[in-house]
C-alpha cells in the first residue's frame, strides 16, 4: 500500500535541534505530496490520540528554537506489550501509514517495538548524551556541549579570582559523554563519569599539588549519573583537599537554547535521508551519521548494542580507571 499519511513524534528528553528537524521533515514531506501529522507529547500522544494535521505554516519560525513544538514526555509504561498494542490500534484508526520517531535511546526502543508489531517506523536520533549505538552524532549533543563549555569558561573566570576549585555537575544519568568531552575541551583537572571509577586519591594529590604551586583555580566535572556534585564535594573534603570547593549544577540549561550550526545541519541531513527512505518505503531503521556519511542502521541493531566512550578521550583524563 502506498504511503500517504506520515506521523511525526518527538519522545523522551528534549534536545536542541528537534524543532529544526521537524521543520525540514514537515516542509520536505509536504513538498513530496505526503500528508503530515504531528503526534503530541511523545508516545503518550499515541495512546491518547493527541494529534493534528500539520502545514508548512506550522514549520515556520522554529528552526532556531530549542525544545519541540510537538511537546514530549517520558512514558515508562510504553514498555508494556498491552500499551504497545493500544498504540498500534490507534495508529491504524488514525490512518497513519508510517511514523518518524525523533528521540533518544529509550525512544529507539519504543520505535523498534512498534516496528516489530508491523508499524512502518523510521527513527531519528536526538539526545544531548550522544549515547545511541550506530551513529557518531545525535541531534542536540553539540549544542549541549557548547553550552557546557561556555558555562565552564565563565566559571573559570570567577574561580581564578577567588582561589577556588569548582565542581560542575552536568547531565548524563548513564552516559559520561557530556562530562568527558567537556572535561577535555575545557582543560578540567578531573572528571567523574558513571561508566568507570575515578582514582579519588590521585585527584586529591594532583589538586593539592596545584594548590601548593599557587595555581588559582581548578575545575572538576561530574556527570550526574556518577553522583551529585555535592556528594563529590563531601568526598574530596574528607580526603583532605586543600582548595575551597564550590558546586555548580548546570541542570536543564543544557537542554535548552538555540541549536548550533552543526545541529541544524545534522537536522537537515537526518530529515532529508528519512524522506528518501519513506519514498523508497524502507522502514525499521534509524538514520545515522557514520564516518561523516548519512546512512541508516536497523533498529534491531541499535537497541541490541551499547555505544562506548571515545578511548582517546578516556586516555587524556588519566585519573579515570578504565582498560582499553
CATH of the domain at 224: 3.40.50.460
Q: What is the pLDDT of residues 175-192, one digit of tens each?
A: 999 999 999 999 999 999
pLDDT at position 324: 56
Q: Is residue 89 domain-resident?
A: yes
Computed over every residue of the chain, the mean pLDDT equals 94
**pLDDT > 90 fraction of the chain, expressed in percent and rounded:** 85
Q: Are residues 165 and 266 in the same domain?
A: no
Q: How confident is the model at residue 161 (pLDDT cuts 50, 70, 90)?
A: confident
pLDDT at position 215: 84
Q: Are residues 25 and 171 in the same domain?
A: no
Q: Which of 255, 283, 317 is the last residue of a domain?
A: 255
Q: Are residues 115 and 13 in the same domain?
A: yes
Q: What is the pLDDT of residues 34-64, one digit of tens each?
A: 999 999 999 999 999 999 999 999 999 999 9
Give pTM, 2 decimals: 0.94
- 12 HSE (CA, 13 A, CB side): 22
Please state, in angstroms and rounded to a whole number, the distance separating the CA atoms of residues 274 and 198: 40
Q: What is the pLDDT of residues 71-101, one digit of tens each?
A: 998 888 898 999 999 999 999 999 999 999 9
Q: Are residues 110 and 193 in the same domain?
A: no
Task: Residue 254: name the closest of 169, 158, 314 by CA.
Answer: 169
Q: Are residues 136 and 196 in the same domain?
A: no
pLDDT at position 99: 98
Tell me: pLDDT of 226 over 70.
Answer: yes
Q: Are residues 190 and 219 in the same domain?
A: yes
Q: Which residue in the list 58, 97, 129, 263 is annotated as catalytic?
A: 129
What average pLDDT score do residues 283-296 get? 97
Q: Is residue 48 domain-resident?
A: yes
Q: Is residue 324 domain-resident?
A: no
Q: Are residues 154 and 117 in the same domain?
A: no
Q: Are residues 136 and 13 in the same domain?
A: yes
Q: Is residue 44 domain-resident?
A: yes
Annotated binding-site residue? 67: no
Q: Are residues 154 and 237 in the same domain?
A: yes
Q: Are residues 279 and 300 in the same domain?
A: yes
Q: Which structural domain range is residue 223 located in?
A: 142-255
Q: Is residue 73 domain-resident?
A: yes
Annotated binding-site residue? 35: no
pLDDT at position 320: 85
Helices then strands, each counted (H, E), the chain: 11, 13
Contacts for 149 with CB less than 8 Å, ≥ 6 apart = 182, 185, 186
Q: Are residues 288 and 212 in the same domain?
A: no
CATH of the domain at 63: 3.40.50.450
Q: Per the structure block, which three cell numbers stand in for 266?
A: 545534522
Residue 69 φ/ψ, nearest 5 degrees: -65, -20
Q: How confident is the model at residue 274 (pLDDT cuts 50, 70, 90)?
A: very high
pLDDT at position 131: 96
Annotated binding-site residue? 104: yes
In sequence order, what E strands does 177-284 have?
190-192, 197-198, 217-223, 244-249
Tell me: pLDDT of 199 over 60.
Answer: yes
pLDDT at position 1: 67
**In the chain, helix, strand, coil percent, each to 5?**
45, 20, 35
Q: What is the pLDDT of residues 227-243, one digit of tens each?
A: 999 999 999 999 999 99
Q: How confident is the model at residue 323 (pLDDT cuts 50, 70, 90)?
A: low
Q: Is residue 88 domain-resident?
A: yes
Number of domains in the chain: 2
Annotated binding-site residue? 1: no
Annotated binding-site residue? 5: no
Q: Is residue 323 domain-resident?
A: no
Q: What is the pLDDT of residues 239-261, one digit of tens each?
A: 999 999 999 999 888 988 999 99
Q: Per the structure block, which three cell numbers stand in for 174?
A: 548513564
Q: Are residues 284 and 246 in the same domain?
A: no
Q: Is residue 61 domain-resident?
A: yes
What average pLDDT score do residues 119-129 get? 98
157 given a catalytic annotation: no
pLDDT at position 116: 96
Amino acid at each position: 500500500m502506498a504511503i500517504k499519511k506520515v506521523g511525526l513524534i518527538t519522545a523522551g528528553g528534549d534536545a536542541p535541534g528537534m524543532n529544526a528537524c521537524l521543520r525540514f521533515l514537515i516542509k520536505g514531506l509536504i513538498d513530496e505530496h505526503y500528508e503530515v501529522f504531528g503526534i503530541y507529547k511523545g508516545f503518550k500522544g499515541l495512546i491518547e490520540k493527541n494529534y493534528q494535521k500539520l502545514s508548512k505554516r506550522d514549520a515556520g519560525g522554529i528552526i532556531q528554537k530549542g525544545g519541540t513544538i510537538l511537546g514530549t514526555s517520558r512514558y515508562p509504561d510504553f514498555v508494556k506489550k498491552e500499551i504497545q498494542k493500544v498504540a498500534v490500534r490507534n495508529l491504524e484508526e488514525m490512518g497513519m501509514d508510517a511514523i518518524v520517531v525523533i528521540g533518544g535511546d529509550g525512544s529507539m526502543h519504543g520505535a523498534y517495538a512498534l516496528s516489530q508489531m508491523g508499524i512502518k517506523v523510521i527513527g531519528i536520533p536526538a539526545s544531548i548524551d550522544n549515547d545511541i549505538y550506530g551513529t557518531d552524532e545525535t541531534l542536540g549533543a553539540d549544542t549541549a556541549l557548547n553550552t557546557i563549555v561556555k558555562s565552564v569558561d565563565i566559571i573559570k573566570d570567577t574561580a581564578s579570582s577567588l582561589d577556588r576549585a569548582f565542581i560542575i555537575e552536568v547531565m548524563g544519568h548513564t552516559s559520561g559523554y557530556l562530562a568527558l568531552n567537556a572535561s577535555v575541551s575545557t582543560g578540567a583537572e578531573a572528571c567523574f563519569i558513571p561508566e568507570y571509577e575515578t582514582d579519588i586519591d590521585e585527584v586529591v594529590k594532583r589538586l593539592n599539588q596545584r594548590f601548593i604551586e599557587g595555581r588559582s583555580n581548578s575545575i572538576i566535572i561530574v556527570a550526574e549519573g556518577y553522583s551529585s556534585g555535592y556528594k563529590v564535594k563531601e568526598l574530596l573534603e574528607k580526603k583532605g583537599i586543600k582548595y575551597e570547593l564550590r558546586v555548580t549544577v548546570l541542570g536543564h540549561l543544557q537542554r535548552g537554547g538555540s541549536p548550533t550550526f552543526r545541529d541544524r545541519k545534522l537536522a537537515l541531513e537526518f530529515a532529508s535521508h528519512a524522506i528518501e527512505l519513506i519514498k523508497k518505503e524502507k522502514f525499521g531503521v534509524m538514520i545515522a551519521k557514520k564516518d561523516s556519511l548519512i546512512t541508516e542502521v536497523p533498529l534491531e541493531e541499535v537497541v541490541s548494542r551499547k555505544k562506548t566512550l571515545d578511548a582517546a578521550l578516556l586516555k587524556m583524563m588519566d585519573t579515570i580507571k578504565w582498560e582499553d
